[in-house]
Chains A and B, each alone.
Chain A
Amino acid sequence: MKTALTIALAGNPNAGKTTLFNHLTGARQHVGNYPGVTVEQKEGCCLHKSKGLRVVDLPGTYSLTAYSVEELVARDFIINEKPDVVVDVVDASNLERNLYLSCQFLELGVPLIIALNMVDVAEKRGLAINTEELGQRLGVTVVPIIARTGKGVDELLDAVLRLSEATTTPQPAFLRYGSDVDETLADMREDLELLDELRAIYPQRWLGVKLLENDEQIVQKAQATSPEAAKRLLARCDEVANHLQHTLGIYPEAMIADHRYGYIKSVMHKGVVTRKFVGDRLYTSDRIDKVVTHRLLGPLIMALVLFALYTFTFSYSTVMVDWLASFFSLINTTIDGLLPDGPVKSMLISGVVDGMGGVMGFVPIIMFMFFGIAVLEDSGYLARVAFMMDRIFHFFGLHGSSVMPFIVSGGIAGGCAVPGVMATRTLRSPKERLATLLTVPFMNCGAKLPVLTLLIGTFFSAHQARYMFLATLLAWIVALCAAKLLRMTVLRGESTPFVMELPPYRFPTIKGLFIHTWERTWQYMKKAGTVILGISILIWAMMTYPGLSDQDLAHFDAARQQAEKTYTSGSEELNQALGKIDADQALMRLKHSYGGRIGVAFEQFSQYAGIDWRTNIALIGGFAAKEVIISTLGTAYSLGEVDSDDSTSLSDRLAKDSSWNPVKALAVMVFIMFYAPCFVTVVCIAKEAGSWKWAAFSMAFNTFFAFIMAVGVYQLGALIYL
């Protein structure tokens, strides 16, 4: 038995659907001030007047014709799932454009309510909307709301309940599309009646309109239902399309769209929308755009913004990073003092605290970076970045829509390749999509960020922001060059057009910024406390067992006895000799462990890039999750240490280690930036590409590419500096 009412939130991109969804369900779904944030539908629940409501947030669309994945997802849900009420979220400050979709809902005959969102913005622009009159003319209820503050949302839900209880079924609206199209629709009636199966799902006239609009999905369904009738229908559609092309130079869909806009204009005039005052033709947003997206100034401003982001992140987070490092150091000292020597103590210090603490120590940096990105995203600037990058992307054989997956994956450092890979769904061309899928993991995701920060902070501490900026730039260059290479070889093909609506600039709300920052930081912390903790303990075990043989232990004991005989008791020389024996034993124990053996086996190749066996263990662990690199390095270098009383940070350990130098650090950074994506990303690539072949290609291609780059950097660096 169906108990909860299903409400579908539909509307144009940036109309405020997700904001309303969050307000209704109390969810903390990510709201981005750029199109394409919601590619899949999201669900939540809420209660209104003791009635359970199932709320579904659909992707933003401009039409109900299958031109994009978002449009298909939204249309399929509305038609197949038949929600009790469709709430069309309409941007009141941009009414004409938004009502175009409402018009198509009316043609489809769904139970519709219009939520007139952002009425405050419309008022500021001098627009007064008579909602009652608008509702009467459209034949649906129109409720003014402000989704950000929740104003009018209760009234909206009241209207939803009233509509769901109504006994009458909404009928599809009958719109005129001009004599040519209308006559064709009349001629098609007989053949449309033969499509019984489709008529049970879609209104008959709507089916005809979609066939005239050359909607791929409907054409295929019609051909599958009745091939003969479909053949006649499509022939009639072609006939009218040719006629319109020859006489007016347009396709039927343009004619239909023109009449829809005409209908909207007729609805809006005479008292529905009035201007209280004549505002500027161009709004502030447009004026800002003229400067921010200027051909010369735009890229300059973009570079400055990114540099400012890094400077902000590294300048203000350092104090908190130091606090956390001291905190974990204190925990280590406490454990060391409380527990007797043995495997439990070793696991807690080297596996848990050094492993997890290494990752958790970067939480402040991650938090500051995410806050900065949230400001850029919520203000609408990221969409402008996409606009400016489009030309460059086009040159490298990618689509303008590829910009967002790149940014989501860490184009401004701190993203994640998994949602980035998933965001490629907005690309229609399979080859452009594959090229994007395979190159987004090159971006500096939030997991690589701590590793880069650690190495930059240790070896290039004087220019942290500059090096981080260069790392981002390098990631972009390499990803784009790899994309060009792929598009010139295995993924050769034509480019497809890129059209995107840019959201207006908005002041980010403090609440929104904190939600975004917290949700991403929490994800990072959760991962550190669960998956990474587990892997850290596993890697600790791999680096601890099997222990040294009795023969080896006896050898070190003998060396100690020999030292004690040689030097006088309590002398400095004796302490030094014993310290050296202890260090040798710890190193041999690590090398003898399972992890050590794997690392040593790979060292014969990795040595050309200056990467030692201990780093190899970390790099293998990094395949599970890139954050593990830090924790494994922490464990590897703390296990190699002798005196656990002298607890120092990983950064200090690496700086003191004779095998590390700036050139090696640079080579390791390059390898980490570009080698195989983490396991979750690989699974995602396989899922999105529809084949494990591409996932395997991604791992092999990236690792080979990263190795060549790292070897180049190390050999060249060694030649010049060492």
Chain B
Amino acid sequence: MATNETKDSCFFLTDFFSKCRRRKRCGRRAAQSSTPLSQSCCHGRFRVCSVNGDRRTCARMANLGLLPGRELELLCKGNGQQCMVKVNGGTISLDAPTASSIMVAPV
């Protein structure tokens, strides 16, 4: 595991330094159990761990297919702000408070 991490954080010719740093940061977060969707800093597939927030928000998310256990694709990362996800074939934009109430883990 440690070897992989060292390999991932290496500076390759095709990678920019900043890109490498971001991957490292994401990797650390991914290692944690779950993070708010708004804090996810890498594009890619995630699994919904839980949907927090008020009942109405949870219900709306459920109608859109954002349910615990479902997979989603992060198209436009939040970095603490609004984000765009692909779920059930549809593209959904979520504002910062809503995105922060969805806990995800990388697939």
Interface string of A477-505 (1 = CB under 8 A from B): 00000000000000000010111111010
Q: Check A293/B95 contact, CB under 8 A, given A62-B63, A67-B60, A250-B68.
A: no
Q: Are A257 and B62 within 8 A (Cβ)? A: yes
What residue of chain B has the Cβ atom nearest to residue A393's Cβ? Answer: B95
Interface residue from B55, B57, B75, B98 paired with A289 (Cβ < 8 Å): B75
Q: Are A93 and B93 within 8 A (Cβ)? A: no
Q: Are A502 and B93 within 8 A (Cβ)? A: yes
Q: Are B63 and A94 within 8 A (Cβ)? A: no
What are the residues of chain A within 8 A of B98 when measuring CB–CB? 497-499
CB proximity of B36 to chain A, nearest CB, Å: 14
Interface string of B58-93 (1 = CB under 8 A from A): 111111110111000101100101101010111111
What are the residues of chain A within 8 A of B96 when measuring CB–CB? 391, 394
CB proximity of B57 to chain A, nearest CB, Å: 6
What residue of chain B has the Cβ atom nearest to residue A287's Cβ? Answer: B75
Q: Check A394/B59 contact, CB under 8 A, given A250-B68, A261-B65, A286-B86.
A: no
Q: Check A400/B90 contact, CB under 8 A, given A62-B63, A67-B63.
A: no
Interface string of A90-127 (1 = CB under 8 A from B): 00011111001000000000000000000000000000
Q: Check A400/B63 contact, CB under 8 A, given A97-B90, A387-B84.
A: no
Interface residue from B79, B81, B93 paired with A500 (Cβ < 8 Å): B93
Q: Check A390/B95 contact, CB under 8 A, given A257-B63, A282-B73, A294-B76.
A: yes
CB proximity of A249 to chain B, nearest CB, Å: 5
What are the residues of chain A within 8 A of B23 when measuring CB–CB? none
Interface residue from B76, B86, B95 paired with A497 (Cβ < 8 Å): B95
User: Which of B63, B73, B76 neighbours the largest number of chain A CB atoms within 10 Å of its CB?
Assistant: B63
Interface assignment of A57: CB less than 8 Å from any CB of chain B:
no
What are the residues of chain A within 8 A of B68 when measuring CB–CB? 248-250, 254
Give the distance in Å from the alpha carbon of A100 to the alpha carbon of B84 in the complex.
21
CB proximity of B4 to chain A, nearest CB, Å: 24
Interface string of B21-53 (1 = CB under 8 A from A): 000000000000000000000010000001101
Give the distance in Å from the alpha carbon of A390 to the alpha carbon of B98 in the complex.
12
Chain A: interface size category:
35 or more
Interface assignment of A281: CB less than 8 Å from any CB of chain B:
yes
Tell me the A47-101 residues at the B interface (CB within 8 Å).
Answer: 62-63, 65, 67, 93-97, 100
Interface assignment of A612: CB less than 8 Å from any CB of chain B:
no
CB proximity of A339 to chain B, nearest CB, Å: 61
Q: Are B63 and A289 within 8 A (Cβ)? A: no
CB proximity of A459 to chain B, nearest CB, Å: 40
What residue of chain A has the Cβ atom nearest to residue B50's Cβ? Answer: A249
What residue of chain B has the Cβ atom nearest to residue A291's Cβ? Answer: B76
Q: Are A387 and B82 within 8 A (Cβ)? A: yes
What are the residues of chain B within 8 A of A394 when measuring CB–CB? 82, 95-96
Q: Are B93 and A97 within 8 A (Cβ)? A: no
Chain B: interface size category:
35 or more
CB proximity of B40 to chain A, nearest CB, Å: 14
Q: Check A400/B88 contact, CB under 8 A, given A254-B51, A501-B64.
A: no
What are the residues of chain B within 8 A of A285 when measuring CB–CB? 91
Interface residue from A94, A100, A281 paired with B73 (Cβ < 8 Å): A281
Give the distance in Å from the alpha carbon of A248 to the alpha carbon of B58 in the complex.
13
Give the distance in Å from the alpha carbon of A294 to the alpha carbon of B51 in the complex.
25
Q: Are B89 and A253 within 8 A (Cβ)? A: no
What are the residues of chain B within 8 A of A257 when measuring CB–CB? 59, 62-63, 65, 67
Q: Are B91 and A250 within 8 A (Cβ)? A: no
Give the distance in Å from the alpha carbon of A500 to the alpha carbon of B98 in the complex.
11
Q: Check A501/B90 contact, CB under 8 A, given A250-B58, A295-B79.
A: yes
Interface assignment of A251: CB less than 8 Å from any CB of chain B:
yes
Q: Are B95 and A250 within 8 A (Cβ)? A: no
Interface assignment of B56: CB less than 8 Å from any CB of chain A:
yes
Interface assignment of B94: CB less than 8 Å from any CB of chain A:
yes
Give the distance in Å from the alpha carbon of A500 to the alpha carbon of B53 in the complex.
17
Interface residue from A94, A256, A293, A504 paired with B76 (Cβ < 8 Å): A293
Q: Check A254/B95 contact, CB under 8 A, given A97-B65, A97-B89, A289-B76.
A: no
CB proximity of B60 to chain A, nearest CB, Å: 6
Q: Check A253/B58 contact, CB under 8 A, given A62-B64, A97-B65, A391-B96.
A: yes
Interface residue from B65, B86, B93 paired with A282 (Cβ < 8 Å): B86
Give the distance in Å from the alpha carbon of A261 to the alpha carbon of B66 in the complex.
11
Q: Are B88 and A499 within 8 A (Cβ)? A: no
What are the residues of chain B within 8 A of A281 when measuring CB–CB? 73
Give the distance in Å from the alpha carbon of A595 to the alpha carbon of B58 in the complex.
59
What are the residues of chain A within 8 A of B82 when measuring CB–CB? 387, 390-391, 394, 400, 498
Give the distance in Å from the alpha carbon of A122 to the alpha carbon of B51 in the complex.
31
Interface assignment of A258: CB less than 8 Å from any CB of chain B:
yes
Q: Check A290/B76 contact, CB under 8 A, given A250-B68, A254-B59, A499-B95.
A: yes
Interface residue from A100, A250, A251, A390 paired with B65 (Cβ < 8 Å): A100
Interface assignment of A616: CB less than 8 Å from any CB of chain B:
no
Give the distance in Å from the alpha carbon of A487 to the alpha carbon of B86 in the complex.
33
CB proximity of A300 to chain B, nearest CB, Å: 15
Give the distance in Å from the alpha carbon of A258 to the alpha carbon of B73 in the complex.
19
Q: Are A214 and B88 within 8 A (Cβ)? A: no
Give the distance in Å from the alpha carbon of A502 to the alpha carbon of B92 in the complex.
6
Q: Are A500 and B59 within 8 A (Cβ)? A: no
Interface assignment of A627: CB less than 8 Å from any CB of chain B:
no
CB proximity of A236 to chain B, nearest CB, Å: 17
The 5 closest A-B pairs by CB, nearest first: A257-B62, A94-B89, A498-B95, A254-B62, A253-B59
Please give the residue numbers on chain B whose beta carbons come within 8 Å of chain A beta carbons, in ascending order: 43, 50-51, 53, 55-65, 67-69, 73, 75-76, 79, 81-82, 84, 86, 88-98
Extra contacts besides A67-B60, A499-B92 (9): CB < 8 Å: A65-B59, A96-B65, A251-B62, A261-B65, A289-B91, A386-B93, A387-B84, A498-B95, A504-B91
Pairs A–B under 8 Å by Cβ, sample size 9: A62-B64, A253-B55, A286-B73, A386-B93, A497-B57, A498-B93, A499-B92, A500-B93, A502-B92
